[in-house]
Amino acid sequence: MTAASTPAVNTADLYDERGDELASVALQFQSLGGRSHFAGKARTIRCFQDNALVKSTLATEGNGSVLVVDGGGSLGTALMGDMIAESAVANGWAGVVINGAVRDREALAALDLGVKALGSNPRKSAKAGAGEVDVDVVIDGVTIRTGAMIWCDPDGILVEQ
């Protein structure tokens, strides 16, 4: 199933059906992409104010996955902008969740990509490649592992445990 053909799932309904099988991220992420509902198997990155791993990962085949980036909650630099997001769309990613900032909000809103982030900042990040890919990340007390199913919509984020 492609990212575009994944049916929209409302997180509230899903939680009502599955309850404590799912963890809910209570941190109030903003919905900034053109796709309000998105879901897929998670891929993870941990980095801080350096988006080289985000760029290189989203340049690979996404197969409807959701990239979860733990940027340490920093709003100091953007970890994704319009060009990286366009690459994600071209490579079949369903969406991106960034515990940090993005930039180019208006362009992101026009793309067929789910984007959840804490906010935005026009400042570029470093490009050194510092960080880790496919590691467990913890956001708001919820552990997200590569391969775990994740669902996102305007109400929030649910993760299969």
pLDDT tens for the chain, 161 residues long, are 344 445 688 999 999 999 999 999 999 999 999 999 999 999 999 999 999 999 999 999 999 999 999 999 999 999 999 999 999 999 999 999 999 999 999 999 999 999 999 999 999 999 999 999 999 999 999 999 999 999 999 999 999 98
> 81 labelled as ligand-binding?
yes
What CATH number is given for 11-160 in this structure? 3.50.30.40
Domain ranges of the chain: 11-160
φ, ψ for residue 56, nearest 5 deg: -70, -35
83 known member of a binding site: yes
Q: Does the annotation list 80 as a binding residue?
A: no
What is the percentage of the chain residues whose pLDDT exceeds 90? 94
Q: How confident is the model over 88-133, as pLDDT tens digits?
A: 999 999 999 999 999 999 999 999 999 999 999 999 999 999 999 9
